[in-house]
Homo-oligomer: A and B are copies of this chain.
Amino acid sequence: MKKKKVAVIGATGVAGQQFLASLSGHPFFEVTALAASERSAGKAFKDALTDASGAFRWYCQEPLDPAFAKIRVEDASKLEASKVDLVFTAVESDAAKELEPRYAKTTPVVSTASAFRYEEDVPIFIPGVNLDHDKLIAVQKKNRGWKGFVTPVPNCTTTGLAMTLKPLHDAFGVLQVLMTSMQACSGAGRSPGVIGLDILDNVIPYIPKEEEKVEKETQKILGTLVDGKVAPAPFPVSATCTRVPVLEAHTEAVYVSLSKHATVDEVKKALRDYGREFTAMKFPSCPPHLIEVLEDPFRPQPRLDRDREGGMVTSVGRVRADHALPNGIKYMLVSHNTKMGAAKGGMLVAEYLAHKNYI
């Protein structure tokens, strides 16, 4: 297969860099354009990452691919999207609202931004969970008269929750969901993100707009495609989202009421067995399992479990009966918010879409 040409927008930011880390030596995709704000435009990418004080602002553990280092950064607002086969966008929502439709006129866009998530004709993909929502792509193209399309990944807090609810809903039916998150600082980005003075020795009990996103997105992702629209999953989701002094990975305490009784072992089995057909397709960014169920009662822990299987697996532990809800089950999960929950998850979506010839 000839490699598809891709552009990364917001390349100097954390999420953009993570797209790039995933794209180094990628078998399907070849980076031919990088774009960022006007301020960086015209500079070699490596220089755009170096600030006035001499600090080199590359944030990934993986080294910067020398091939990317010398690409000249373009102004995102002037990028000619038609020259690439796929655009990855990793920009703030306001910028996405303006840029993504422009790119999508000619070219598919896989985005980490929330700008289009709640549009009726836009699917929010989680790999292995709702890729059958791909039929919305044709609807979107037709509605908007675009040759390309926009497919955002969900909010990073939604990913682990929807991933673990899906097998439970398939196997037992879900009636109610109550979730409390303990989210990592990286979820807030770096400009300025969460400042040290606020988070050291502390919990911040509120993340603006986060709970609404998680509630709405989970229902949409687990919904059913009917007549070219997603009918949201019929069960209510209630979220409390907090920030804790953790660098990476969101931890979530989940309470679920099921439609019918299931033992703890049945629940674990449903979680463990989930997604085998998808992982069997062995896409480059796909982990060996979508969900891992841990038996050590002290796991999952964000620091110890976030990098399992390249940060692409959702780690579940402490699965146990809950006696407050009908057919109640409770568990903890850890999901890497900036890997499976952001750019690397978007990369896996793109791999699937390329395989399906959407790209």
Contacts and interface: CB of A to CB of B under 8 A. Distances in A.
Contacts of A133: none
Contacts of A237: 324
Interface stretch (A23-31, A123-131, A136-144, A243-251): A243-251
A176 B323 CA distance: 9
Interface string A165-192: 0000000000011101010011000111
A276 B75 CA distance: 44
B325 A176 contact: yes
Interface string A290-303: 00000111111111
Interface in A323-354: 323-325, 328, 330, 332
A201 B303 contact: yes
A122 interface: no
Contacts of A296: 54-56
A236 interface: yes
B196 A304 contact: no
A322 B245 contact: no
B324 A247 contact: no
Contact of A255 (B178, B196, B202): B178
Contacts of A206: 297-298, 318
Contact of A247 (B180, B197, B242, B332): B197
B238 A242 contact: no
A177 B301 contact: no
A324 B236 contact: yes
B205 A300 contact: yes
Instruction: Identify the interface centre among A182, A185, A198, A236: most chain B CB within 10 Å of its CB.
Output: A198
Interface of A: 53-56, 176-178, 180, 182, 185-186, 190-206, 208, 236-238, 240, 242, 244-247, 251, 253, 255, 295-304, 317-318, 322-325, 328, 330, 332
20 contacts: A53-B297, A178-B324, A182-B242, A185-B197, A191-B192, A194-B195, A195-B195, A196-B200, A200-B201, A201-B303, A202-B246, A202-B303, A205-B251, A205-B332, A206-B298, A206-B318, A237-B324, A240-B318, A240-B330, A244-B244
